[in-house]
Chains A and B, each alone.
Chain A
Amino acid sequence: MNVSKPSEKYKLLKQRRATWMAIVIKDFRKSKHGIVGSVIVVMIFLMALMAPIIAPGNPQQPNYGMELLPPSIEFPFGTDNIGRSVFHFVVWGTRNELLIGLVATLIAMTIGTLVGAFAGYYGGIIDMILMRITDAVAVIPIFFLLIIGVSMFQTKSLWLIASIIGIVTWPYFARIVRSEFVSLKERTYVLAAKSIGASDFRIIFRHILPNAAGSIIVTATIYVAYAILLEAGLSFLGLGDPTATTWGIMLNTGRDLLRRAPWVATFPGLFIFLTSWGFNLLGDGLRDALAIRERKG
């Protein structure tokens, strides 16, 4: 190409240097959903990080004589039936919500990705067996599976609940990763890797998996919201860890106080919703950004 002006030459060079990441970020910034979502998610993370500054003190601390107070300057979200500050509870709860969301997603993602990758790559009988197992787990309405699984444990910790959520929700990941692998394994770079004698293991994890990363990341983002909603539902039913500081636990307390103190249920629920919405929006934005990249590639 004949390039005369230095500025144009520079522009071209810059274009060529535009990495995958830069294209994704550029497209992501065009997505309104993505922007709003990332602002919410960043704020949630900041809230978790700065809990001791925003709401100093122990969130589980009862304040005798200050039960069921409506929202005020001292207690912005009011107090519950034993005088705990709902605001403190919500702010500190953020940490546990993120822990549950991230741990459950990590477990579901790991199991689902492994199952999906092997099923999609090998096909045939391995695919059939792995996908029938996936179907078998996916067929049960998730909440029934979760309730039965969780109820069998006498002492429940957040780690346990997060693990069970991960163990029962991996099938969706497996299906997505499998479909990616089924199409990606036909690409020429896989053929090239095979022809120089790369092992199956190397092809799966070094060649195909990075190319499936986009849809895995999008799914994982949405899964964080899903896991938080599931835990909140469990705690709301009274099947969570009753000693933990989570939004679902406070919602469970507020359920019986609905007539006398509606704020106890209102604020934790609002934050569950906001967090779930934020992660869903972020997932949407990432999907748009990554899909545009795929079309260009």
Chain B
Amino acid sequence: MGLKGYIIRRLLTMPILLIFTTLFIFILIHLAPGDPVQIMLGGNPTVTKEVIDILTRKYGLDKPLWMQYLIWLGNVLRGDFGHSFVLNAPVITLIGERILNTLKLTLTAQILAICIALLLGIIAAKRHGTLIDNIISALSLFGYSMPSFWLGLICIFIFSLTLGWLPSSGTQTLGVNLSPWEALIDELKHMIMPVTILALNQSTFLFRLVRSSMIEALSQDYITAARARGVSERLVVYKHALKNALLPVVTAAGLNFGYLLSGAVLIESVFGWPGLGRFTVQLAFRRDYPALLGIYLLIAITVMVANLITDILYAYIDPRVKYGD
């Protein structure tokens, strides 16, 4: 099967996947004891029975679960992703700017993570089995086990509260007039800590992949052949081996985009970053169930599209890939 057929098939399976994934959260939400309206109201005793009844009808919660799901699905197909109960606005308008902030954070972190992973992975693979390799590998497990939110707090304590070098929250300094150039510097300063911590977490996972694929690439016959022809070691590593090791790393980074988004929830909360993750946490506190469902669906679509793009790019870059299966 060609690439076109593969893409079409992937696009066709996406709705099925979306139905499964939204059904899962629907069931999970309704497993919770108690009426969603009362949960949203947080057990406020001043709310009368009538208000609860009106809201129950408004959100269709008096209907059986399967019908609620179908109604919700119908709304989604008409482009209505739900209405926030707390903020009294359509979910889609609430998400716009926040998703951009989240993408700014995660995509920058992704690029930085790939760079860190490549740098350390190549060093470790070149010195495979030596002390340096062992130290870097141990450090990667160290970083992998590190709770990023705690590291964030420690960094805020050191770099913001003690040294005063970097701002501790937000995307920019508010209430000051800055020239465009100063504004850019200001924005970058706000990004340093959240992006670096998010990237460190992601890079520990990618590092292991770079290391193992570089070790494998360096043991291939074409590398031996290149060395035998007298190609310099530098060229062997950075041109011949890296070219082949790069592909799985970039693919894994793309397929791992969901993991990055997950990490962003905590980082955004620590650094007061006005993104989707922090927003979701705020809505979760208020138990804004319709809005949470809308966000859930949008995130599912985002991750699926990211995965699809990764797979297509993969096929495009590597002509050896065949989509028979």
Among A139, A150, A236, A277, the residue within 8 A (CB) of B21 is A139
Q: Is the CB of A152 within 8 A of B289?
A: yes
Q: Is the CB of A137 within 8 A of B21?
A: yes
Q: Is the CB of B157 within 8 A of A262?
A: yes
**B235 lies within 8 A of chain A by Cβ:** no
Among B17, B153, B265, B280, the residue within 8 A (CB) of A139 is B17
Would you mind naming 26 contact pairs between A and B with Cβ atoms under 8 Å apart? A33-B138, A136-B20, A136-B23, A138-B258, A139-B303, A140-B300, A141-B262, A144-B262, A144-B265, A145-B296, A147-B280, A147-B284, A148-B293, A152-B39, A152-B287, A153-B33, A233-B265, A251-B149, A254-B153, A258-B156, A259-B161, A265-B154, A272-B150, A277-B142, A277-B145, A280-B144
Q: Is the CB of B285 within 8 A of A238?
A: yes
Query: Which residues from 114 to 142 on chain A have a C-beta closer than 8 Å to any C-beta of chain B?
Result: 132-133, 135-142
Q: Which residues of B contact A138 (CB under 8 A)?
A: 258
Q: Is the CB of A144 within 8 A of B146?
A: no
Among the stretches B24-32, B62-70, B72-80, the one at the interface with A is: B24-32
Q: Which residues of B contact A164 (CB under 8 A)?
A: 28
Compute how far the CA of A270 lies from the CA of B289 in the bound complex, rounded to whole angstroms.
35
Among A151, A153, A280, the residue within 8 A (CB) of B141 is A280
Q: Is the CB of A140 within 8 A of B258?
A: yes
Q: Is the CB of B145 within 8 A of A280?
A: yes
Compute how far the CA of A140 lies from the CA of B277 in the bound complex, rounded to whole angstroms.
13
Among B16, B284, B303, the residue within 8 A (CB) of A239 is B284
Q: Is the CB of A148 within 8 A of B284?
A: yes
Compute how far the CA of A137 lies from the CA of B23 in the bound complex, rounded to whole angstroms.
10
Compute how far the CA of A18 lies from the CA of B260 in the bound complex, rounded to whole angstroms.
45
User: With contacts A140-B303, A151-B292, A167-B28 known, is A273 near B265, CB below 8 A?
Assistant: no
**B109 lies within 8 A of chain A by Cβ:** no
**B319 lies within 8 A of chain A by Cβ:** no
**A10 lies within 8 A of chain B by Cβ:** no
**B34 lies within 8 A of chain A by Cβ:** yes
Which B residues lie at the A interface, using CB under 8 A?
Answer: 13, 16-18, 20-21, 23-25, 28-29, 32-34, 36, 39, 42-43, 138, 141-142, 144-147, 149-150, 153-154, 156-157, 161, 258-263, 265-266, 269-270, 277, 280-281, 284-285, 287, 289, 292-293, 295-296, 299-300, 303-304, 307
Q: Is the CB of A258 within 8 A of B153?
A: yes
Q: Is the CB of A140 within 8 A of B296?
A: yes
Among A149, A236, A258, the residue within 8 A (CB) of B161 is A258
User: With contacts A141-B259, A144-B262, A154-B39 known, is A237 near B281, CB below 8 A?
Assistant: yes
**A281 lies within 8 A of chain B by Cβ:** yes
Compute how far the CA of A277 lies from the CA of B151 in the bound complex, rounded to whole angstroms.
14
Q: Is the CB of B32 within 8 A of A153?
A: yes
Q: Is the CB of A152 within 8 A of B147?
A: no
Chain A: interface size category: 35 or more
User: With contacts A144-B261, A144-B262 known, is A132 near B296, CB below 8 A?
Assistant: no
User: With contacts A144-B262, A149-B29 known, is A251 near B150, CB below 8 A?
Assistant: yes
**A284 lies within 8 A of chain B by Cβ:** yes
Q: Which residues of A contact B156 (CB under 8 A)?
A: 258
**A214 lies within 8 A of chain B by Cβ:** no
Query: Which residues from 71 to 108 on chain A have a C-beta closer than 8 Å to any C-beta of chain B?
Result: none
Q: Which residues of B contact A141 (CB under 8 A)?
A: 258-262, 265, 299, 303
Q: Is the CB of A284 within 8 A of B153?
A: no
Chain B residue at smallest Cβ distance from A134: B20
Chain A residue at smallest Cβ distance from B43: A154
Q: Which residues of B contact A111 (CB under 8 A)?
A: none
Q: Is the CB of B21 within 8 A of A136?
A: yes
Q: Is the CB of B153 within 8 A of A265?
A: yes
Q: Which residues of A contact B21 (CB under 8 A)?
A: 136-137, 139-140
**A225 lies within 8 A of chain B by Cβ:** yes
Q: Is the CB of A258 within 8 A of B157?
A: yes
* Contact pattern, A 149-167, Cβ under 8 Å of B = 1, otherwise 0: 1111110000000001001
B72 to chain A, nearest CB (A): 14
Compute how far the CA of A280 lies from the CA of B208 in the bound complex, rounded to whole angstroms.
14
Among A151, A258, A277, the residue within 8 A (CB) of B285 is A151
Compute how far the CA of A88 lies from the CA of B149 in the bound complex, rounded to whole angstroms.
22
Which of A132, A138, A233 has the most C-beta atoms of chain B within 10 angstroms of its own C-beta? A233
A132 to chain B, nearest CB (A): 6
Among B29, B147, B157, B269, the residue within 8 A (CB) of A148 is B29
Q: Is the CB of A136 within 8 A of B292?
A: no
